[in-house]
């Protein structure tokens, strides 16, 4: 989306002739470290070049008008600065409304209304954090528009609060953190509980990260997600009969092997095994990226998927079909599902020379087994949310 197009659409929709300020917040992928965040462990996300654009200008009254180019049939959604409570009829606009509401509590100096136009190029239902992208782009535009100079991590926490308390989704902080704190050509090794983080260089050389969207409607994610959390909690409770630990990711793999017998249920033991070994993989992945060893990093990515399939059982036939076809394709260093599972996306690290044949072969394997096409996106690892001051 060009700055010129955003400016023009903003002026047409809101019938204004002044120029808005433009902002962008990325989506994110998680390179490795899946289902570790709520078990006290590390995740390894990166901001990507797809995301949410926002064009904004202040008004002289108290009205806030929202418009999304992705939902044109919804038209302009309007509310007042003193009427920011959740409204089901406002649909997608509740995400920016929640952000404005919580920032207005913290900084009552939001004195003017605004016209805000949004455009997102993150594919729907892909699990690449479109909601966090909307929240954080709204937070950053408010911060700049009203000169709050807010600490970025505090802004990220507000984004999570919107998701948890305003929208009512029990998510961790990884999505908002990656969207707000991303850095070009770097991933974030993040402990989602302590917020301890390290930037790791992602030097892919002759390779690119390809995102493969299954295009499967994700219907079971929330119930299965809650089920996995409960299984991990039961495994932890069993281990705590002997070990003074607060979460599964405090365990080394050796300590886990020695004490696995304490877990009464075989399925719960498999879930815990995935979590402990996956957390160790994120630590190894940090070392491999810091030493620019993308071949070994790719092997860790493959191991992650095998564990998510066999021990955590969250992949499903769609993701497995894509990943296993990717493993068999030349020039692929690693592939795995990314996100909660049961649909959504996989990622693969593919040599530049193989990208076109990779797309063709994966499509053929997928259509043959699943019956419809996957969609491919080349992911560039970019910066976190920011104001756009020149055409990129």
* Per-block mean pLDDT, blocks of 10 residues, the chain (392 long): 92 97 97 95 96 97 97 97 96 97 91 96 81 96 96 96 90 92 98 94 95 81 82 98 97 98 98 98 98 97 98 96 98 95 93 98 98 95 94 60
Pair (239, 153) in one structural domain: no
Pair (170, 256) in one structural domain: no
Pair (281, 233) in one structural domain: yes
Exposure string (b/e) for 240-274, b if CB count within 10 Å is 16 or more? eeeeeeebbbbbeeeebeebbebbeeeebbbbbbb
CATH number at residue 234: 3.30.70.890
Pair (143, 221) in one structural domain: no
- pLDDT value at position 218? 63
Q: How many domains does the chain have?
A: 2
- pLDDT value at position 50? 94
CA angle 72, 74, 78 (to 5 degrees): 115
Tally the C-alpha atoms within 13 A of residue 250's C-alpha that lie toward its C-beta. Answer: 10
Query: What are the tokens at 314?
Result: 């969250």
Pair (212, 141) in one structural domain: no
- pLDDT value at position 219? 57
Q: How far apart are the first and last CA of the chain?
A: 10
Pair (214, 142) in one structural domain: no
- pLDDT value at position 58? 97
pLDDT in tens, 197-224: 999 999 998 999 999 999 987 654 567 8
Pair (310, 214) in one structural domain: yes
Pair (230, 179) in one structural domain: no
Pair (140, 255) in one structural domain: no
Which H, E and C letters describe 309-359, residue by residue?
A: HHCCCCCHHHHHHHHHHHHCCCCEEEEEEECCCCCCEEEEEEEHHHHHHHH
Pair (224, 171) in one structural domain: no
CATH number at residue 110: 3.30.230.10
Pair (96, 130) in one structural domain: yes
Exposure string (b/e) for 10-45, b if CB count within 10 Å is 16 or more? bbebbeeeeebebbbbbbbbbbbbbbbbbbbbbbbb
- pLDDT value at position 151? 96
**Using only C-alpha atoms, what is the Rg of the chain?**
22
Catalytic residues: 175
- pLDDT value at position 129? 81
* Residues in contact with 199: Cβ distance below 8 Å, sequence separation at least 6, in sequence order: 183, 186, 187, 188, 189
The domain containing residue 325 runs over which residues? Answer: 207-379
User: DSSP secondary structure string, 69-83?
Assistant: TT-GGG--EEEETT-
CA distance 92 to 115: 16
Pair (343, 278) in one structural domain: yes
Query: What are the tokens at 206?
Result: 């002759």
Instruction: Say what angle helices 266-290 and 294-310 make with each other, to 10 degrees.
Output: 170
pTM attached to this predicted model: 0.93
């Amino acid at each position: 989306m060009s700055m010129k197009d955003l400016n023009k659409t903003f002026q047409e929709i809101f019938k204004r002739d002044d120029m808005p300020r433009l902002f962008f917040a990325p989506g994110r992928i998680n390179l490795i470290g899946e289902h570790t965040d709520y078990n006290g462990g590390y995740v390894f996300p990166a901001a990507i070049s797809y995301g949410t654009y926002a064009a904004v200008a202040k008004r002289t009254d108290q009205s806030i008008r929202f418009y999304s180019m992705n939902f044109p049939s919804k038209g302009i959604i309007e509310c007042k600065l003193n009427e920011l409570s959740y409204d089901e009829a406002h649909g997608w606009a509740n995400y920016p409304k929640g952000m404005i509401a919580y920032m207005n509590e913290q900084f009552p100096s939001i004195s003017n209304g605004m016209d805000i136009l949004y455009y997102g190029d993150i594919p729907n239902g892909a699990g690449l954090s479109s909601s966090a992208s909307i929240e954080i782009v709204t937070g950053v535009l408010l911060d700049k528009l009203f000169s709050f100079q807010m600490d970025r991590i505090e802004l990220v926490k507000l984004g999570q609060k919107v998701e948890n308390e305003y929208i009512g989704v029990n998510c961790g902080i990884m999505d908002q953190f990656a969207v707000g704190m991303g850095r070009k050509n770097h991933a974030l090794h993040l402990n989602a509980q302590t917020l301890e983080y390290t930037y790791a260089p992602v030097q892919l050389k002759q390779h690119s990260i390809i995102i493969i969207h299954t295009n499967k409607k994700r219907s079971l994610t929330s119930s299965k997600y809650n089920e996995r959390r409960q299984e991990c909690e039961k495994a932890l409770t069993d281990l705590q009969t002997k070990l003074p630990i607060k979460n599964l990711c405090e365990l080394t793999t050796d300590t886990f092997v020695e004490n696995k017998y304490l877990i009464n249920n075989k399925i719960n033991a498999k879930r815990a095994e995935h979590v402990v070994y996956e957390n160790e993989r994120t630590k190894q992945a940090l070392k491999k990226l810091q030493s620019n060893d993308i071949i070994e990093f790719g092997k860790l990515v493959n191991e992650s998927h095998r564990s998510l399939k066999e021990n955590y059982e969250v992949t499903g036939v769609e993701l497995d079909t894509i990943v296993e076809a990717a493993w068999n394709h030349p020039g692929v260093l690693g592939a795995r599902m990314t996100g909660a599972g049961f649909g959504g996306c996989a990622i693969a690290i593919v040599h530049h020379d193989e990208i076109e044949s990779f797309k063709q072969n994966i499509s053929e394997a997928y259509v043959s087994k699943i019956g419809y096409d996957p969609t491919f996106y080349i992911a560039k690892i970019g910066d976190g949310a920011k104001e756009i001051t020149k055409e990129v």
